[in-house]
Amino acid sequence: MKGIEPILENNRKWVEEKRAADPDFFNRLANGQKPQYLFIGCSDSRVPAASITGTGPGQMFVHRNIANMVVNTDYNLLSVLQYAVEVLGVEDILVVGHYGCGGVAAAAGNKQYGLIDGWLTNIRDVIRVHDAEISAIADEETRLRRLVELNVIEQVRNLAKTNIIQNARKGAKPRACTAWFMILKKVCSRI
């Protein structure tokens, strides 16, 4: 099989397996969603949100972009955030980064990539803010790993600055959101 056929076949198998294990599975999902989590993560194909968190359909709302950015002019992210918090009632938001992130590495380098350069400017701001710490790290891999960590922390801070999260924390429905940051292979921490 070539092209999209393996994907379609895998989907058919998945549907059959789900129906065999739970005949009412798709009926329950069709009745709506009430996820507890919003996952803001990198678009990297090696970071499958449901797989790394052990969540199933309906348990986590997901937004992905290059380098798990929370940018205050990104209407896609803000729309997902607002829907998750104000409509779905999500209470836990995870900003998830990963070591070996190509977006972070690209932002740390001097090469031009075209359209994505504008997006990478946001990570370059993280570098600027933490320049003394990052510049003091001699080993490039260690420096990039720390930049991944700092980028996630800064994105959680950006998340906290949105009026969506500020209003949720004031006690407006739903309850105040808790933002977490997670870097793959590290323990989840609350901010």
Q: List active site positions.
A: 42, 44, 46, 98, 101
**Cα separation values, 176 from 75, 93, 149, 170, Å:** 22, 11, 24, 7
Mode of pairing for the β-strands spanning 178-183 and 189-190: antiparallel
Two tokens at 108?
């740390």
* Cα 3 from Cα 181, distance rounded (Å): 36
Element (H, E) at 72: none
Name the nearest CA neighbour of 147 among 164, 167, 162, 129: 129
Cβ–Cβ < 8 Å for 168, 161 = no
